[in-house]
Amino acid sequence: MITGQTRVFGLIGHPVRHSLSPAMHNELFRRRKIDALYAVFDVLPSQSGGVASAIRTLGLAGVNLTVPFKESVLPDLDGYSAAAAVAGAVNVVVSQNGELIGHNTDGLGYLRALKEELGAEPQGRTVAILGAGGTARAIAAALAADGVVSVTFFNRTIQRAERACEALSQAHPGCRFQAAPLAAGSFRLYSPSFDIVVNCTSGGAAETVGAFDVRGLRAGTLWTDVNYWMPDPPQLVACAGRGVRIQRGIGMLVHQGAESFRLFTGVSVDGDTVRGVLDLGGW
């Protein structure tokens, strides 16, 4: 029963109607007997400057953030975690004693899914990351902290990728970062050297990524697409046909969700519990 004491959490982004997060969090609240609810707030990008104020004004206990607000909200927060600082983006904001504190669970979620689903250890691997936004940088930082030797960002705006390389190089000097255009020619040039490819681009780049030639990837290379909601992410079928191991983004969502729930409530849940809540046998 919703009462005046019910804490309200939610997801802020655009678009967000496809999200599995409400089903996940509300069922976890029910199972753990926590007086809370989780809703989605589809906010137009033009309103990005008012996101933090809305959280404060409405007294929301915490939110998940997705595109396009993961980076723009940073200046309006009272503080954020080390992972969020390195990524330059937050995907969880929690209200603590009247202050808004940002966190980033993208990298943690990706790493846990990578190891759980594929049994892969990043140490010593070379990585390609398609995109250079908040999710891409968070995943790159987590992989660098776990021992990958190089990360190449492919991005439509090369300057954005170069800025990501500069920031991450300072935080992880043991890993080599470089930038390249998000284009078929540059990907084909580098592709034989990669052990892991992570597509962090949004759905709008699907046609560009779909034009890449994946024949240069070695058999056994890992290809992850973080866009769990896409019915047919680019290149997954082509990669599977060439012996490249593929991974959809649902595992990352599961572990992100588990960590978000812990940050929201202080209650830990494991990935298997979240998968059971969402009935993900078919994913």
For 41-92, what is each residue's pLDDT tens digit?
999 999 999 999 999 999 999 999 998 999 999 999 999 999 999 999 999 9
**Is it the case that residue 25 has pLDDT exceeding 80?**
yes
What average pLDDT does range 248-277 have in this prediction? 94
pLDDT digits (tens, 9 = 90+) for 142-191: 999 999 999 999 999 999 999 999 999 999 999 999 999 999 999 999 99
- Which H or E run contains 96? strand 92-96
Give the pLDDT of residue 281.
47
Q: Does the active-site annotation cover 70?
A: yes
Q: Which residue among 70, 125, 248, 255 is the active-site one?
A: 70
Q: Is the pTM of this model over 0.75?
A: yes
Rounded distance between C-alpha atoms, residue 221 and residue 151, angstroms: 15
CATH of 107-248, one of 3.40.50.720, 1.10.10.60, 3.40.50.620, 3.20.20.70: 3.40.50.720
Q: What is the side-by-side strand order in the sheet with 196-199?
A: 176-181, 150-155, 126-130, 196-199, 222-225, 245-248
Domain ranges for the chain, please list them.
7-104+252-278, 107-248
Strand runs labelled E in 131-203: 150-155, 176-181, 196-199
Domain 7-104+252-278 has CATH 3.40.50.10860: yes
Give the pLDDT of residue 91.
96
User: Is 107-248 in the same CATH topology as 7-104+252-278?
Assistant: yes
pLDDT band for 282, please (50, 70, 90 cuts): very low
- Which H or E run contains 260? helix 250-265
Sequence letter at residue 78? D
Give the pLDDT of residue 17.
86
Mean pLDDT of the chain: 95
